[in-house]
Structure 1
């Protein structure tokens, strides 16, 4: 953060990349608020030939501050994906004991449906609610699902536990691996992989609204502009034979 700089415009994004930085420059933003940090590993040097370093150089040159809220936001917004999907009657799956100032925080929820629904209906609902072009799934499309585990981002590692220990018959998450999908399938359950981007970008609207509410109670806070990035895109695409036929 650039000390002493007045912030009048904030850009919120899931990741920081070239398109987000250029958008922030166009909109004259003083702060970019992202979920994922620029660097996930220690940096030993700033090299302009490295894409991440090049971004950092441009950010510093334009005097734009960057703040990343990563796992703390995951824990605080543990139920937001389920909210967007319209799933109610939820319970926190994995409580976090290290979140000060929050009575309930953690990772993931499990929702109990009033009536079982077939997996194919859940697939259609998730794709529609998250406005996605495609989904990846494992399991029989006709199986009936009534206990739905929902975990944003890289929730694949929790699939076995959600099914075996929490009785989930369907897990909605992102970044699902082969063996995790296979476990769900042979267990008679299902997995819907809506992608890391698809399951987390939905948090940004909640973050914008929460910041706006906080700023309303501060002097001149209502005059601060808060935008969700319009240029950020899902990095994943689906290729099929019909794309070239």
Structure 2
């Protein structure tokens, strides 16, 4: 088997974490290296630091997929006597491409914020800070009866027909199609120049706009006709809100101090910073990975009892304290929760393409803080 090409890797990743979900000005995408090459080994990491690059070199990695951008601020010089300069020099010398997915991975379904909410047992979640709305479309396709079940199942497997907690939702009606194959055709049913009236099923299902490319690929791959007949149109049904942070409910009410212990255990950290009276009860919780200072008042506005985020500023904590919003800061580094999940995404993508690219998770500890 051949290795997967970098462009295909990015296409598969962005199917789950599309770039349009990133906040304006975020430094996502290609950071260093080439997008035009085969990839033998992918490494998933939270941060790109010199020890991480050394780890990549030792493991013959040629593509690093990171959450935190390596090039976040403008570069004024590349001094290879510094750790930053040496790191970029090593990446170029060893032909390692670095690609970053930051706030788009935060906002993505199954991304950082969903993973953090799941780890804390927050249920009935909604988006805390909407970035965009994913519109709903309806697909109507006509399939010969012999292949209707196969097409219907494949569309469902690709994500069509998901309504709430139900999957593979579709409506089917039976009837007769009509077509006359023209010169140069190779019809699945019938003969050139002869009018055909095959028994067909009309399948109706729904999908989100972000799924459109994938749904169309699956439809054309599984439909037996040379020229499938189908319609796609946008519905007035409200779309899926996408954005930063999640807000929902804990499975049971607990004190703030008990919740702080729960956060420590869920994220495997030695300590957390807590704002608020430890004996107060919490039930509605908001979470936002990374630096969520600017969204604290949004959590309060939406009725959160407690807000979990990293890098809390002193004065933001003061403001929240005075307004009665409890807060827990487990640190920025808890976003490492994304590493294994993204690795699983990429392993699935490699297997679906039947390629020989390996996927590993960085084992280097990149949290600069420790507790004493």
TM-score by length of 2: 0.60
Is 1:125 the counterpart of 2:262? The answer is yes
Determine the C-alpha separation between the residues in 2 that align with 1:185 and 1:3: 47
Worse overlay, 131-140 or 97-106: 97-106
Contact (CA 8 Å) 1:10, 1:29: kept in 2 or not? yes
State the partner residue of 1:225: 358
Is 1:191 the counterpart of 2:327? The answer is yes
Q: Which has the larger radius of gyration?
A: 2
Determine the C-alpha separation between the residues in 2 that align with 1:172 and 1:86: 13
State the partner residue of 1:206: 341
Distance 1:105-1:206 versus aligned 2 partners, 3 A rule: farther
Q: Secondary structure at the match of 1:162?
A: helix
Is 1:69 the counterpart of 2:101? The answer is yes
State the partner residue of 2:46: 14
TM-score by length of 1: 0.89
Alpha-carbon RMSD: 1.8
- Residues 91-130 of structure 1 show CA distances to partners (whole Å, capped at 9, x for unaligned) of 1111112877274421011112354211111111110110
State the partner residue of 2:303: 167
Worse overlay, 69-78 or 134-143: 69-78
Q: Secondary structure at the match of 1:96?
A: strand
List gaps (5 residues or longer) in structure 2. 1-32, 135-208, 212-239
Is 1:182 the counterpart of 2:351? The answer is no
Contact (CA 8 Å) 1:135, 1:192: kept in 2 or not? yes
Higher percent of residues as strand: 2
Determine the C-alpha separation between the residues in 2 that align with 1:132 and 1:160: 25
Contact (CA 8 Å) 2:121, 2:250: kept in 1 or not? no
Contact (CA 8 Å) 1:84, 1:202: kept in 2 or not? no
Determine the C-alpha separation between the residues in 2 that align with 1:4 and 1:169: 49
State which of 110, 124, 137 in structure 2 corresponds to 1:89. 124
State the partner residue of 1:243: none
Determine the C-alpha separation between the residues in 1 that align with 2:254 and 2:299: 19
Distance 1:95-1:68 versus aligned 2 partners, 3 A rule: same
Is 1:28 the counterpart of 2:60? The answer is yes
Count of matched residue positions in the alignment of Structure 1 and Structure 2: 235
Determine the C-alpha separation between the residues in 2 that align with 1:25 and 1:232: 16
